[in-house]
Amino acid sequence: MIPTSFDYKKVTSVADALASLNGDAKILAGGHSLIPAMKLRLNQPATLIDITGIAALKGISDGGDKLIIGANCTHHDIVDSDLVKSHCAMLSQGGDMIGDIQVRNKGTIGGSIAHADPAADWPAMLIASGATIRVQGSDNSRDISADDFFTGFYETALQEGELITEIHVPKQGADTVGVYVKFPQPASRFAIVGVAAMVNHSGGNCNNVSIALNGVAGNAFRDTAAQAALEGKAYHADNIAAAANAAAEGVEVLSDPFASEKYRKHLAKVYVKRALSAANNQVDDLTKVEGIGPKIAEALQAAGVKTYAQLASKSSVEIKDIIVAANSRFANANPGTWPAQAKLAAEGKWDTLKKWQDELDGGV
């Protein structure tokens, strides 16, 4: 397939790029989406404005409470960045799942989000991270939240003549875990379904739950119903299952030769569950769970229950047995109350453990 003929112009500044961006001109970054589209003659620009030589659009810097990622950063630049690994680890983990090594070395984050393929990976990660996209027009610059940026099928809030210059990603706090998971198309690795989840676990419960999906609908979106189902709740299998069940409801789900609407919706729920469970798995300090003090944590760890995920996978009766085995004195003291307490624990009401912890104080 051969594209229609076009002029080519390489620019070295944002001002030059904007001045050239008129008529049927198009920005060229990594070319990994635009060139195939041109070969298929879905795009027939008169001029390509190559922005890969603009130094101001490269690099990742520390902006205080956020990271500033230049639009021309390749996927690999982001995956490999120590700043990203330290402050927005999900972008490094999830970015590494984009395409293959050639795609990651050439494709850029600016090109990916401007193209807004519903199956692209960055959009969900940026929405879940609370990122902002900075765009520059000939007269002014605008900051657009990632939530508002992806407006439809290959559509964004970017206006004609605007250039994406930076992506601002808030640094995640010490108690926040973010995970991106996807069911990839086996050849391209694009997401048939992709889920980005960020959860703050300070205080033992799931706070500031942020869940975004791509591949599922015409554009990446924040799944507010799934978020609400987990917000403020304990890290417990039942609560994670409730969030997963709520996912992709009330959404116009895509259907294509790779996955029917029904299958995609099912995958969305499965992958929300996987993302949240994987986020749990990264939290290994059981004392962060409300009601678990050092003694119960020690008893659980001695029994091989070392992470939130492992805790959530245990039934309340198993947890009770572990604690009772560690302190038979307590079991004898309160035999009648166990069933009720176990039921509360099964419902994710870990504050009951606080009571156990108080009574165990000095015992385990």
Ligand X SMILES: Cc1cc2nc3c(=O)[nH]c(=O)nc-3n(C[C@H](O)[C@H](O)[C@H](O)COP(=O)(O)OP(=O)(O)OC[C@H]3O[C@@H](n4cnc5c(N)ncnc54)[C@H](O)[C@@H]3O)c2cc1C
Contacting positions for ligand X (CB under 6 A): 26-34, 71, 98-99, 103, 107-108, 110-112, 114-115, 117, 120-121, 163-164, 188-190
Residue 32 or 233 with smaller CB distance to ligand X:
32
The C-alpha atoms of residue 222 and residue 65 are separated, in whole angstroms, by 22
| 57 versus 244: smaller Cβ distance to ligand X | 57
Sheet holding 47-50, edge to edge: 7-10, 47-50, 25-28
CB of 100 to ligand X, least distance (A): 7
Cβ proximity to ligand X, 190 vs 356, nearer residue: 190
Three-class secondary structure of residue 99 per DSSP: coil
Q: Closest CB to ligand X among 174 and 187?
A: 187
Q: Which of residues 34 and 305 has its CB atom nearest to ligand X in the complex? A: 34
Taking the complex as a whole, the smallest distance from the CB of residue 96 to ligand X amounts, in Å, to 11
Among candidate residues 245, 100, 106, 110, the one with its CA nearest the CA of residue 185: 100
Alpha-carbon span 122 to 180, nearest angstrom: 10
The residue (of 29 and 286) whose beta carbon lies closer to ligand X is: 29
Cβ-contact 193, 181 below 8 angstroms: no
CA distance 250 to 228: 14
CB of 259 to ligand X, least distance (A): 15
Nearer to ligand X, 28 or 226 (CB): 28
Residue 122 beta carbon to ligand X: minimum distance, rounded to whole angstroms: 6
Q: How far is the CB of 348 from ligand X (least distance, A)?
A: 35
In the complex, least distance from residue 99 CB atom to ligand X, rounded to whole angstroms: 3
SS3 sequence of 244-299: HHHCCCCCCCCCECCECHHHHHHHHHHHHHHHHHHHHHCCCCHHHCCCCCHHHHHH
Which tokens is 134 given? 């900075």
Are 200 and 168 a contacting pair, CB within 8 Å?
no
Residue 41 CB, shortest distance to ligand X, in Å, is 14
Q: Is 196 helix (H, G, I), strand (E, B) or coil?
A: strand
